[in-house]
Amino acid sequence: MTVRYVAQGIHKTYGHNEVLKNISVEFRTGEIHAIVGHNGAGKSTLLRVLAGVEKADNGSVILDKKTVSFSSPREAQSLGVTCVYQELRLVNELTVAENIFLGQELHHGAVLKRKEMNRQASAMLAVHGLDISPSDKVRKLSHPQRQLVEIVSALHKNARFLLLDEPTTALEFQQIQELLETLKKLVSSQEVGVVLVTHKLDEVYAVADKITVLCDGKVVLSGKTTDIKQQDVIGYIIGEEQNLGVREGEISVRNRRKEFLAKGPVLQVANLKTSKIKDVALQAFPQQVLGIYGLGGSGRTEFLRTVFGVDRIVSGTMSMGGKLFAPKSPRDALRWGVAYITEERKVDGFNPLMNSVLNMGLPVLSRFSRYGFIRKHKLQKAVLNVTKPLQIRGSIFDPMQSLSGGNQQKVLFGRVIMQDAQLLLLDEPTKGIDIGAKSEIHKFIRSLVESNPIAVIVVSSEEEEILTLSDQIVIFRSGVCDGKLYRSEEMTATMLRTLALEEGC
């Protein structure tokens, strides 16, 4: 029997900011229903209301024809509504089985029935084709495995509606395909309803039965995916005028390609070896975006960490501007003019409680300090000059955590401008960002390299992003890269994957 979960006339306001405006949408078991929209459109807030994390100011939530008002996520779970967030909630020091049974442990008196929990957990994992030991600590699992364990845990708690917040953000291509297949099996075999918040439209059209588009806190489009064209969805998310500009911009980038090899490299790497990478050689030139492509575990992120002075060099050499470069710390790399925007911006990219002004000024505070005191007026003036072209939505004087993911990323790019960097390292620069903010960031990166003598190195798991952004591409495999350059306009996604899987780089 089909169960309906309905949001009706939902309003939600934070201070003077109205985030959800009369949202009405219906979800059903046996269906995958995607929610898409630009950053700040209200997707995550709606998910939190549905999951019992937030309470709506007005409107009602109806589950199986009964109006409900959850006081907590635990109460929502007890009625079959569970949310799996982008930042997973598993306990790393507990086993897989203990996480699956967390809050519903099997006891014999005061003693945990571990063998029975392991047996049942093993059976649940097997049903979903997961070759994971229930007795392994969660910290030993890969991110995709943890994600699937959290989904299994939700299903064990008799979830009728599974709310997923950007579930494929950290996954590789094959892992994404496996997760999407798992979701399709779930809705068909277990009568579960899946609410999928994502920015990846190709995934939406691969698995979703229905799609709802949010814009500025309102539902602007909703219906069966078979009845709605993907181009129409893009138009609603970023606007037709901007959408056309993105396509024209990508073409003009190709037409404005410059000859970089005549200039000396900003960064030159030869036979680089660390505890995590085996042998890397490459060059990055000014006014060039060098794309690094490889599968998970190929050493891409580890290479960036080495250039930024986080990981130590075992052997080999690096040089910047023709001078030997061996940073012993991030502070040392900053002095050389290296800027780094990490994959996990919420973990190590910024201080969430500081405002955007201070976060942008952190690497260069000495420029705005006198006798140990920060000259706030001078810093704010400099930041405002930088942020104007970035079009940050939200107050730069509020804590960073109040901004959406795309706007947080724009602040970090503003920090790069403040640093006046010679080399910019970008690790998954649009991870978890919607298509509108992604196109803005792509335009900014291209504008940055074309108007400044800066070299940019980009790591991305999205083939289309590598092909769109990069002038040239190198391939990493198992910690090895020979520096062979591939012109991006001559490559395809299939060619990239094939090269990444070959025995040698």
Count of structural domains within the chain? 3
Is 344 a member of any domain? no
What is the domain-level CATH number for residue 227? Answer: 3.40.50.300
Point out the domain boundary residue: 364, 398, 419: 419
Residue 252 has pLDDT above 50, yes or no: no
pLDDT per position as a tens digit, 111-164: 889 999 999 999 988 877 778 999 999 888 877 778 788 888 877 777 899 999
423: confidence class by pLDDT, cuts 50, 70, 90: very high
pLDDT per position as a tens digit, 181-225: 888 888 887 778 999 998 778 889 999 999 999 988 999 999 999
Confidence (pLDDT) at 172: 65
Contact 61, 7 (CB under 8 A): yes
Q: Give the rounded percent of residues in the chain with a pLDDT score beyond 70.
A: 91
Domain of 39, in residue numbers: 4-244
Same domain for 23 and 162, yes or no, is: yes
Among the residue ranges 247-256, 277-286, 379-388, 436-445, the one predicted with the least confidence is 247-256
- Taken in order 77, 81, 87, 91, is the CA torsion positive or negative? positive
Give CA–CA dist 160/158, Å, rounded: 6
Same domain for 315 and 371, yes or no, is: no
Residue 247 has pLDDT above 50, yes or no: no
pLDDT per position as a tens digit, 60-116: 999 999 999 999 988 998 899 989 876 677 888 899 999 898 878 888 888 889 999
Produce one character per residue of 398-424: b if its CB has 16 or more CB atoms within 10 Å, e if not: eebebbbbbbbbbbbbbbbbbbebbbb
Is 249 a member of any domain? no
Same domain for 222 and 101, yes or no, is: yes
Among the residue ranges 282-286, 308-312, 317-321, 433-437, the one predicted with the least confidence is 433-437
pLDDT per position as a tens digit, 347-368: 777 888 888 888 888 888 888 8
Same domain for 231 and 131, yes or no, is: yes
Report which of 243, 244, 252, 200 is spatially closest to residue 436, judged by C-alpha positions. 243
Same domain for 464 and 474, yes or no, is: yes
Confidence (pLDDT) at 318: 97
Residue 50 has pLDDT above 50, yes or no: yes
Cα within 13 Å of Cα(434), Cβ side: 26
Same domain for 184 and 108, yes or no, is: yes
Confidence (pLDDT) at 249: 42
Is 45 a member of any domain? yes
Same domain for 145 and 122, yes or no, is: yes
Confidence (pLDDT) at 139: 87
Same domain for 304 and 185, yes or no, is: no
Report which of 442, 448, 427, 471 is spatially closest to residue 255, judged by C-alpha positions. 471
Residue 326 has pLDDT above 90, yes or no: yes
